[in-house]
Chain A
């Protein structure tokens, strides 16, 4: 159930804020003692990067070899410069910044980097993110300022993965007394309630202006909205509908930040109806994505036609369509493909009814509403979609036979997740490719993208890959979510970027250490 609740919380979308339009006379603005309270929807499972805390950056407490700006570009953090990669792509070396220290005064050395990555890779540690670092064969620190990664195969996104926070060598992996080298140091944690951080005065780019941060957890969206309007929170992540009441309030800014977090239909490709490309393409034409954005997402979203967000540079502009759908074209396609309307209005071909089951996780109201919209749009073109709201444990064994409303998406590197979702080596394994998609050309493109050290070659590979999965309609993509953040008071330095699926402090608050109260 926890999973279900948290998946529901994911569609909490969001936005941002800050530069408020009026003087902070309305409502309590930034407290004079410099404490800034952020209301978050779900508590962190752990505060150890090794165990999966904010591996893509934005942890505030930790810093990785690299860090990511709001424009998604990588800049060196613990590392002094971008890595050097050997000609065969199998050796990646980082030189560390000089004089960097952890919050407790210990110097940050190559041994700490080695310890961090090896702890992730050690199967005995049960790290949930180990699979993301599977390309790394070993990590060496020949001297305190050098780290060398030896890879099992060339892996272009390694620098993107290097945002993983570095922990001091030998520190326990429980993360209950987290020590890092990031802009904020850990003060206290009340489980189920909040985490208190204070500014790291020795931070390499200078002390953060907001001297004290409180990350308060309130799972219920309405509770969070109430506490936000009561002035208890200075900022909060809210679902679009709960954030609506803050629109236009003086001193409060609502920001809707685009994300790469999509929802779509994952098809079982080995079945008679969903295995027919004509049916899938007709469905992709028929759905009214604009209505989903306007109604289901209350405007906080964008139509999706492929797995790569149009807000990133990797997007193929040819992968697009009519936001409001084109049911007429869909009907024509089905008719030409031999799907003829039967007596009950549902099309039939060779005695097979155009009907399939669409599952969604029962606790996730966003996916439920999307599934309802899909079923109604499908009905209009003569395709019968039966809905089934199930628990994940019931969904998993059925994924190879029934369609599922699923969500993934990362803005960082197109290799992330797409390799697993579309490569034949993951066919019918776990959640990745249960439909059994298997296309040698796509396999080749994904491998090229993963291994090539040439950005132009990678780019072309991913453009071609997007075109193929769009033409084949392997998934029907529905919407990209926008994350909604509400911030009270006027701040300089608030820069919305493109969020990932996970966005607690990785979204708008990623660089809160650069925020400054506006004069």
Chain B
């Protein structure tokens, strides 16, 4: 019954716990796994328990899902940190020189060597990695070399700003995409539809940082309506709501717009598909108002794949946040990761990469849980 939108074939769908594929592995076959006939689901859930009623299965299904994902996350995080460690080692930048900054050329070589030894940079690579991993397991993230603060503190100070900006962007992106996609589907083929579809395609091709610079150029420099960056005005000592809101407009809008193209196109295709379904024809035949048909019947039904899609978009949201925070001098964790990478600040970079990976895994998990709750077929047939 679920529509198979034309764009569905190109969209990654979350993996349902098959070993060997990361939750966000590109090229994961879409479609089958989200339907009742999924072969992958059977492999993931080889249990032979008797069928249950849907309501009994919900808690168990979610628990299974979480357990599978958690089991996956451990080796995934290990692989990600090992890869990043190898890249940091291969970096041409010397962490000690970056740490010393301007003072690198006036620092006694003896002092620089002592710092290198204190950080264990003179130890074999595997030993350095093992040490870092051991500290991590004990909950010690280490100290950021570039910011001269404990990594935990850096994240605690910056994460709220990132969460604020990205969650506002997600809300805006969802609302905007739903409206634009539905309108385009309803007026399929009209000038408006072409405008929305064409705009979405063009937007998909535009790099995020370019959009950000364009927005600054137009709204801050030329028109002077909005501040170009930062959290608050330079002269303000405290964070006040109005000031903060003004500074949020551009970064949040740019982030939302840059991530919305796929969603707009997806919603449009979904709704277009659902509008052809029998039950919509039936609803119309019963004389329901067009608006009711569109919102209560068509859109609702078209929303299920939307949830899946949202989970799969988290990695791009993370990437987008990095660029947007950098362009708009937003003091969040994403801009800190750029700084950490340039300074070869391994402790901070490692923690932020872990955080990003967890965001992706967690985002997918949430999307799948939402899907499990929303679609009884997944619950009963897929995991039960």
Contacts and interface: CB of A to CB of B under 8 A. Distances in A.
Interface of A: 1-3, 6-7, 10, 31, 35, 37, 39, 45-46, 48, 51-52, 123-124, 126, 128-131, 134, 174-176, 187-188, 190-194, 196, 212, 214, 216, 227, 232-233, 391-393, 406, 408, 417, 420, 429-432, 501-502
A52 to B, nearest CB: 6
Contacts of B111: 128, 130-131
A48 B232 CA distance: 25
B153 interface: yes
A507 to B, nearest CB: 14
Nearest to B230: A193
B237 interface: yes
Nearest to A420: B108
11 contacts: A2-B339, A126-B114, A126-B118, A128-B99, A131-B111, A193-B231, A194-B234, A214-B234, A392-B97, A430-B108, A431-B104
Interface string B79-106: 0000000000000111001111111111
Nearest to A189: B157
Contacts of A420: 106, 108
Contacts of A393: 92-94, 97
Given A130-B111, A393-B92, A6 B101 contact: yes
A131 B110 CA distance: 8
Nearest to B224: A230
Interface string B94-136: 1001111111111111111011001100000000000000000
A48 B149 CA distance: 11
Contacts of A408: 105-106
B174 interface: no
A190 B235 contact: no
A193 B112 CA distance: 29
B335 A123 contact: no
Contacts of B319: none
B109 A502 contact: no
B146 interface: yes
Interface of B: 92-94, 97-112, 114-115, 118-119, 146-150, 153, 157-158, 230-235, 237-238, 329, 331, 335-336, 339, 342-343
B237 A3 contact: no
Given A3-B101, A128-B103, A408-B105, 6 more contacts: A7-B102, A131-B111, A187-B237, A232-B235, A392-B104, A406-B105
Contacts of A51: 148
Contacts of A214: 234-235, 237
Contacts of B238: 188
Given A391-B92, A430-B109, A129 B343 contact: no
A406 B102 CA distance: 12
Nearest to B330: A192
B141 to A, nearest CB: 14
A170 B343 CA distance: 29
A39 B230 CA distance: 14
A124 B107 CA distance: 16
Contacts of B339: 2, 192
Chain A CB within 10 Å — which of B108, B147, B335 has the most?
B108
Given A3-B101, A174-B149, A193 B237 contact: no
A124 B92 contact: no
